[in-house]
Amino acid sequence: MVKKQNTHWQTVLTIILGVTLLALYAVFLFVPQLRVLEEKKDRIEERTAFLVKMEKGYRHYAQLEEQDAALRAQILSLSEKVPKSMDKPEIIVAVYNKAKKNEVVPISLNFEDVQDKGLYKLLPLDFQCEGSYNNVMALISELQQDPAYYFTLSGISFQQEEDQINAKMRLFCYSYND
């Protein structure tokens, strides 16, 4: 009976020892490693998402490079068609500044296409303004004497409105070919 009791205790101790070892394994080895595995899994998912984003970005970058090349070709084409001396924004600024300087109110400035005349290029423009007769005439004179642009007056029409006139002018801006 002592031997049976001893075996019974041995079995109970073996079970307790086994459960203790399993608990120690779970607490000290399995759970920390499980956290490490989860962290690595999250890191892998993050890197995979980043890789997918980079791949899409690379495709997008390739498209952007193609667009860049196309736009550069268009810039070259436009710069050949419109010489720098006929840069429309600069002409607009020059005409409007001269109008304001001569106390003339600019109403509109419209451009047509640049015409290649062989040795020179011609940019027709229609300018409408309002002011006193003397101020409008001073503006026309100043435009024709502008050292930056070669303006000529092709035609002009006036409408009298009390002490002001409304002038519609047809101007040509010339530029020599390089």
- Tens-digit pLDDT profile for residues 150-163: 888 899 999 988 88
Which residue has tokens 């019974």?
8
- Tens-digit pLDDT profile for residues 102-134: 999 999 988 888 887 888 888 899 999 999 999
* Structure tokens that stand for 58 in this block: 């690379």
The pLDDT of residue 173:
86
Residue 176, amino acid: Y
Pairing of strands 120-131, 115-116: antiparallel
Report the predicted TM-score, pTM, of the whole model to 2 decimal places: 0.51
